[in-house]
Structure 1
Amino acid sequence: MQDGEILTKIKELIAEEHLLRERVGTGDVSADDEKARVGELEQALDQCWDLLRQRKARREFGEDPDFSTPRPVDEVENYNQ
């Protein structure tokens, strides 16, 4: 996946999150359903950002960024910042 594709995916995930929050406000989606889905969206976003960071690091060290792969959610979610 190229940087542009990852950024497009990030935009789609953010748009879905905003739509979901609007739908909760209008009562179309329950708060519990919204909370569960937002959690999934946040995990997917974290994976996308991590993949972009991997690609950037590979480029900085003269490696091929196309060898970067998405890491599992549990690995990405347990990073210390």
Structure 2
Amino acid sequence: MADEDIQGVIEELVAEEHRLLEHRDGRALTDDEHARLGEVQVRLDRFWDLLRQRRAERAAGRDPGEASLRDEDTVEGYQQ
């Protein structure tokens, strides 16, 4: 997957995240909306991580194709 493709996925996920948050109209999210928002946010984290890995590989003179989409537990376990 090329950087541009990854960026496209990120943009789609951000748009969905915004739609979910804006759709509330002052009300709380439904259980389904809340679950979907969580899924979207995890996918965003995973794709941002993939893009950062690719950039780091490239900066180190290595093949960015060696980067891989890490699992949720790994990405969500990072310390901020």
Counterparts of 1:1-81 in structure 2, within 5 Å, are 1-25=1-25, 31-81=30-80
* TM-score for the superposition, normalised by structure 1: 0.87
Q: Retained in 2: the 8 A contact 1:20–1:34?
A: yes
The CA distance in 1 between the partners of 2:19 and 2:79, in whole Å, is: 30
The CA distance in 2 between the partners of 1:65 and 1:59, in whole Å, is: 5
* TM-score for the superposition, normalised by structure 2: 0.88
Q: Retained in 2: the 8 A contact 1:54–1:68?
A: yes
Question: Would you say how many aligned residue pairs link Structure 1 and Structure 2?
Answer: 80
**Structure 2: runs of 5 or more not aligned:** none
The CA RMSD measured in Å over matched residues stands at 1.8
**Structure 1: runs of 5 or more not aligned:** none
Q: Retained in 2: the 8 A contact 1:24–1:34?
A: no
Percent of residue pairs identical = 49
Structure richer in helix, relative to its length: 1
